[in-house]
Chain A
Amino acid sequence: MANFYQDNPDIEEIIDALDLSEVAALLENDFAFAKEYDFAPENAADAIDNYKRALDICGKIAGERIEPTAEATDRVGNILEDDGTVTYTPGIKLAIELYGKSGLMGATLPYYLGGLNMPCTVLTAMNDIVSRADCSLMNMFGLQGIAETINAFASEDIKREYVPRLATGELTGAMVLTEPDAGSDLQSVKTVAYQNEQGEWFVSGVKRFITNGCGDVLLVLARTEPGTTNGSGLSCLLVEKCPQVKVRRIEHKLGINGSPTCELVFKDAPAKLIGQRRRGLITYVMALMNGARVGISAQGTGVGEAAYRAAREYAASRKQFGVTIDTFPALRELIANSAVDLLASRVLAYFSSKSVDLEAGLTKKFESLKGTPEAMAVRNRMKKYAAFNKMLTPMAKYYASEMAMRVSNNAVSVLGGSGYMKDYPVERYFRDARICSIYEGTSQLQVVAAIAGVEGGLVPEAMEDALDGVELNESLAAKVPAIRQLADELASAIETVKANPGAKMYHSLQARRLVDAGIAVIVAALLVRLAAKNPKREAALDYWLNVQFPQIRAALEIAKGGYTASVTDFETLAPMPKAD
């Protein structure tokens, strides 16, 4: 019987290395909640012990109950019934029930609304664990973001009405944003919301590609300001499942078949306004989206973990030419590369999650301290992490998604013919992983989001933050200059790119390479952090410095080179195929 937390010591190691003591104190209001709730922690060690217990529960359910259902969930998928309702696969139904009953569906929600008041970093670890068991389940488990959004922005009445029931899994939710003509470009949303004479709201329109659109609580992005065409005319509304909302179809997808992707038609559906008008996209959806992106960084990591394990175990047992195939250098490199790639993804995802926790916690603290002499220092740190998050969240989402594709692709390679067959799960991991780089903003959009921070010089700052408080031994101290040097090379490449005559186009063209370099630097610093506590990790750091850094340098060379043909000579390089 596997426990996906206990059998994967990397999770606890990273959580310990990142030290969540400050996060715990901020979230627990300096442990004042312990007086009010008999289960709330009394100090940081108590809180961190609770986090680990919650992860243990999560890992046990994932390993013992969910993973065995994942294959059937993938094959069967959810079913759209004739009456327009959706029947979940047995595995998904069971998962929602178990996670709901265990209280983990409300991991990050406040105590008074039925939650566990846990940090985003812990939710990330949970999403990581859940995604290893069934990648598609994360879409349901991770929908905690819906409740978080309601908690952050809705009125107290709405909060009390919905959040506790979302925390127990009694209700599930969906974020309802995308439309046929509004995908990455959400500003062009056409769904409208209007008020009748009594001031009650109603929503009409069509939404597409809605994860769990069959859920009970729908957070809908709709145009409340007639005549507007941009994001400032959009608001966020809560629509409960009702006859005026129909699931018109569920999509047939490449992967994550356990997650019902719905097309929804709203016909004058009664709605409740969340927060203020016009802030739907600009404030609320952006917050929701950031949370969702953190979720995908965990999802990619989890499915990568599943793929890596399958490949590693298979290679150790499969014999060819009289030896197990994990003795061949080419396969060793494939697998070792996957292992380091996976570790990089996890450490970056957890680090960026901790940064999200610090921003949220410091914001609350600042509000409580306003007007006192300590407030300024808190405010400065809050701003620092806010700036980090604008860069780190998309970086983590981007890296984990791409890693999941690389590692699951490698796993298929390691298993060879068997990997291509449905008899082994790696083809499922490969298909499931593919979505990560598409939804909640494509990899290309993550680069667009992260580049401002990279160009603004935040990479060295984040690197120092990752190294903060680390006690370096002699060997590690000797390696840190190489990381600082790459950070310098990145700074110089940024200058060169900015100085290019076709600055705007050239900048877009090279952004990915600069972001990759920024990620390489931050991950290296985080690997130093891990190695300082666990000497075995120095091997991963060395691998990163010896294999990843040279590739990054080559990419920076291209970025500095001024070559633009893929844009300027596009028609010649990529001619339109002739129509018949």
Chain B
Amino acid sequence: MGYNCVVCIKQVPDTGKVTGDAMKADGTINRAALPAIFNPEDQNALEAALRVRDQHGGTVTVITMGLPAACAILREALMCGADKAYLVTDRRAAASDTLATSYILSQAVKKLNPDLVFCGRQAIDGDTAQTGPQIAEKLGATLVTYLEGLEIKDGYAYATRNIGTGTEKVKAKLPALFTVMEKCGELRPFQARLAMKYKKARAPMELAKETAEAEYAELRQKGLDIGQWTLDDIGCDLSRCGKAGSPTLVNKIVNVVLAGGEFQEFQPTDEDMGRLVGSLIADHTIG
């Protein structure tokens, strides 16, 4: 029998490419200065779901919440083999914190009634690791965090999870939600045929307004439609969404700059490398 899997994915600024202008004067992220990418651990989550489908059959559906630009990662997921993609997009969802986000995503997930839900452990822009567990709570699904390996047998999930000092194996009832770590497996490459096909997939909001309806109908006929949901479509209580549903208040953001004296600088020269190794030996880090 097959399992229906839903993967929640997020488009994030590539914090690995932080340069001088990556942060605005007020300490918030300058999103324009950083390329937007498929959150790394969400890629591992997608791979975990695709493996379940490879082994047992079923479907893999990806969901993201964000602006229409986030469709880029939905297309990437389709090119890797996901069956269907949905964009949850609504102005009223802006400024949602993890609580509101998890509520909105849980409403979207409910519509799909999956057996397994996969999220990346955390997103590299916020690093909260809260959204996945909060979705599970709202779904009433078994929560398995820090997933490193998964087997599905006889309707149960046998999961290996990282507990910091090692791993533990747990047996979980379905439906279950997993927050996935890198070790679970690198996302497979795009399949060329799917890349050739889904490069044309679009959500309605990506289309020119005047012709959107006709174009989208055509896309749907070809299986190239990215589903698009507003908060109303997924039955959200607006008081739990956006700013209204977000109890988190950012008090202040501090740009931490290491003071001199806390670090030493070494140039990539033979001499400096000698000094570096010397000091590491001296404080018994190596040797």
| Interface set of A (CB-CB < 8 Å, partner B) | 38-41, 49-50, 53-54, 57, 60-61, 65, 98, 101-104, 107, 116, 317, 319
Contact = CB atoms under 8 A, between A and B. Distances in A.
A38 B223 contact: yes
Nearest to B222: A38
Nearest to A40: B196
10 contacts: A39-B196, A53-B192, A54-B195, A54-B196, A98-B188, A101-B189, A102-B191, A103-B193, A104-B192, A116-B193
Interface in B175-206: 186, 188-197, 199
Contact of A53 (B186, B195, B269): B195
B190 A39 contact: no
Contacts of B194: 39
Nearest to B193: A39
Contact of B197 (A38, A57, A61): A38
Contacts of A49: 199
Nearest to B188: A101
Contacts of A40: 196
A35 to B, nearest CB: 12
B164 interface: no
B224 to A, nearest CB: 8
A53 B199 contact: yes
Contacts of B287: none
A397 to B, nearest CB: 26
Given A317-B268, A319-B269, A41 B191 contact: no
Interface residues of B, number: 16
A41 B196 contact: yes
Contacts, number: 47
A528 B197 CA distance: 36
Contacts of B189: 57, 60-61, 98, 101-102
Contacts of A41: 196
A65 B189 CA distance: 10
Nearest to B196: A39
Nearest to A41: B196
Nearest to A101: B188
Contacts of B190: 53, 57, 102
A26 B268 CA distance: 53
Contacts of A53: 190, 192, 195-196, 199
Contacts of B188: 98, 101-102
Contacts of A101: 188-189, 191
Among A38, A40, A54, A107, the most chain B Cβ lie within 10 Å of the Cβ of: A38
Contacts of A319: 269
Contacts of A57: 189-190, 192, 195
Nearest to B268: A317
A39 B195 CA distance: 8
B121 to A, nearest CB: 19
Nearest to B270: A319
Interface string B3-16: 00000000000000
B230 to A, nearest CB: 29
